[in-house]
Every structure is written in structure tokens, then in C-alpha cells.
Amino acid sequence: MVRPWTEAEIRLLGTKPDYEIGRLIGRPGKSVWAKRVALGIASPPKLVRRWTEEEDRVVLSKPPQESAKMLNRTKDAVCIRRNKLLKKISCDPNAKLSDNAEAAPQVQVPRYDSAEHEEKVRFVGGPYVPPSVTVGGWLQCALHGLLQTGGYTNALIPWPVAVKHPRQMILCGDLVKALKTESRLAVCFHVGISPQMVSEYRRKLGIERLTPGSTRLFWRNVKLAGSDEGRAKMSQQREGRKDLMTPEDRARLRQIQRRPKTAAWKASAAERWQRRYAMLGKPEVWTKEELELVGTRPDRKVARLLNRSVLAVKAKKFQLKKKGDENSGPV
């Protein structure tokens, strides 16, 4: 037998969802819905917020975490909405690719902190332009194959990132060319990649560490270190520095250095010096006058007179002392 409806139960209709009212009064949800429709009572407003066009633009332009904070929604809701929008964009037959003229304004000349900063991060090649593709398009990544574009980075050169991976850049086009040509410092500054990721990308792509841009920075540092100002600065930093090694430790170190070397160690050292000669060239040969000057005055003054580094003078003095000890040994 059907239980009759009371006045208190009828007053609850429309105030909450049908299934919740049914749980409160002990009736099936379908029975509550039928009674509410029969009496012409409207259903309660939905608790789900509808997405607006402004919110959709925020979802496509910002990372999920940032979009969730701006829109006061959960991160899962933002990700679900983003995936739905990307599917609509990718399935749209009228979607057009941006040409070079439209993409060029995105690549602006950066404002450097100083002339020295500009010299450090400037490109030796380029210019480098992001690929002409809209959000939702597809690009061929050099590491992960075909990927769908989920947005662009907020860097000096905005670069596309993959869907569901806002930090994963799509390695293609001019970015691969920049990794092969420019220095790590320049790529980090313009593209917005950390130094660790640049090294990781180069390792995976099989790119050598010394690129044309890295070589330019290396020789720039060598010239700065060889200037009068650079030498004075390094001497000032070393001046008055105490020797951290005790005499016993230094004597033990010299004994280790004088031990006979194995054939494998000599082969490794020869290979290492060959690479150094190929990059820096062979060092200048010491003349007889230079050798006679070593040890007659402090190493720093000898280095200034000979236009050599202090380490080179110390190494030569150690080598001459070693030869003198061997010649003065017992016969």
C-alpha cells in the first residue's frame, strides 16, 4: 500500500535534489520526482557552474594549477574542461595556422640588464622563430614523436608545449637548431629552459657539449682572464690565502705523484692532452732564459714577467725540482 504524502514532505519538494529528499523522507527518488512534476514544482538550481567564454580563454592560456586559482575551480575540473576544448579545436576543419607575420610579433628583442649581459647571452646564429601552429595542432617532436600542442611558454621566445605536460617543450624546428648552435646560457635566457634540461636535451639528441656559441663564450672568458684587469682581480683573491695542506700531507702527495704510472693511465692522459691541444692549441715552449728565471723570485712576479699563469710557473718549478732531485740522487 502506498504511503500518503504529508504536508511537510510536499513542502520539501524542489528545495533539494530529488534523490536527497527521497533519502530524507524514506521514499524512492523516482517517486519524489513524479510527485514534484505532478504538482508543477520546479527542480532546484544545479550546483555545477557553467563555463563561460572568458573562463575558456583562461583555461587555454594558463597552466591548470594557475587557472584553477584564478577561476576558483578544482584542478581536475580545469583539466577536464581543457581536454574538451582541445578536442573541439583539433576537430575543427576551419582551424587555421598562424603564418610567420602573425608569429613574428611574439619574438621581441629582449631588454638586457647591461651590455655585458647582452654579450653573454647573444646568439651566434638565428633568428629563431617558434613553429606556426595554433593550440590543438600537432607537431613532430624529436624525442617523443607526434605531440599535440597544448599552449605556449611565457618566455622571450614562446615555444609550444605538449598537452597534459605544460613543462614539456616540443623539440622541433628552430629549437633543435638552437641547441646545436647556441650556448647553454643563451638558450636558457631566450627560451626559458633550465641549464639542467638543456644538458639533458643535448644528451638525448646526441649534441656535443661545445657548440659554436659555447666555444665563443669559452674564448671570451679566456681573453678576459688574460687581461690586466682579470689578472689583478685573480691575484687579489689569492693574495694572503693560507695553504690548507699540512707539510706531511704535501710530502705524501708528492710521493704519490712520483710513483710510476701504468700504461692505461698514460694512454688516458695522452688522450686528454690531445683533446686539450685540439681545443686550445699547444702551449708555448719554455726558453732557456725563462727557465733560469723560475725560482729566483716569487712565483706571482715571475708569472707577470713571463706573461704566464701562476699555476704554469708553479708546475714548471715543481718539474725542475723533481729533475734536480733525480740528478742529485745516489749513483
Give the pLDDT means over successive 10-residue stretches in the chain (331 positions). 84 85 87 89 76 86 84 85 74 53 55 79 86 84 86 84 81 90 90 89 88 90 83 72 80 87 91 83 84 86 85 85 63 41
Query: Which is it for strands 165-169 and 138-141: parallel, antiparallel or unpaired?
Result: unpaired
Q: Do 79 and 157 fall into the same domain?
A: no
The pLDDT value given to residue 97: 54
Select from 196, 216, 236 the last residue of a domain.
216
- Indicate whether 241 belongs to any domain: no
- The number of distinct structural domains making up the chain is 4
Same domain (yes/no): 86, 132: no
- Asked if residue 187 lies in contact with residue 172, where contact means CB atoms within 8 angstroms, the answer is no
d(CA 129, CA 244): 52
- Point out the domain boundary residue: 181, 201, 216: 216
69 and 28 in a common domain:
no
Same domain, 138 and 162: yes
State the angle between helix axes of 184-191 and 195-205 in degrees (0 to 180), rounded to the nearest 10: 110
How far apart CA 324 and CA 318 sit, in angstroms, is 10
Range of the domain at 26: 7-39
205 shares a domain with 121? yes
Q: Are residues 19 and 66 in the same domain?
A: no
The answer to whether position 160 is within a domain reads yes
Amino acid occupying residue 85:
L
Are 34 and 62 part of one and the same domain? no
Q: Please say which residue of 172, 199, 216 terminates a domain.
A: 216
Domain membership flag for residue 29: yes
Return all residues near 202 (Cβ < 8 A) that are at least 6 apart. Answer: 179, 208, 209
Residues 27 and 61 in one domain: no
Are residues 120 and 203 both part of a single domain? yes
CA distances from 331 to 324, 326, 327, 328 (A): 14, 10, 9, 9
Judge if 120 and 204 occupy the same domain: yes
Co-location of 125 and 190 in the same domain: yes
pTM above 0.95, yes or no: no
Calpha distance 59→68 (Å, rounded): 8
Per the structure block, which three cell numbers stand in for 109? 628583442
Instruction: Give the whole-angstrom CA distance, residue 141 versus residue 121.
Output: 26
145 bridge partner residues? 141
Question: Rounded to whole angstroms, how far apart are CA atoms 128 and 157?
Answer: 8
Give a yes or no: residue 83 inside a domain.
Answer: yes
Question: In the prediction, which pLDDT does 90 show?
Answer: 54
pLDDT score for 94: 54
Q: Residue 163: helix, strand or coil by DSSP?
A: coil
- Record the cell numbers describing residue 60, joined without a space: 587555454
Whether residue 130 lies inside any domain: the answer is: yes
Question: Could you tell me which residues are beta bridge partners of residue 141?
Answer: 145
Tell me how far CA of residue 318 lies from CA of 17, 254, 287, 327, in angstroms: 90, 10, 17, 14
Q: Which three cell numbers stand for residue 227?
A: 687581461
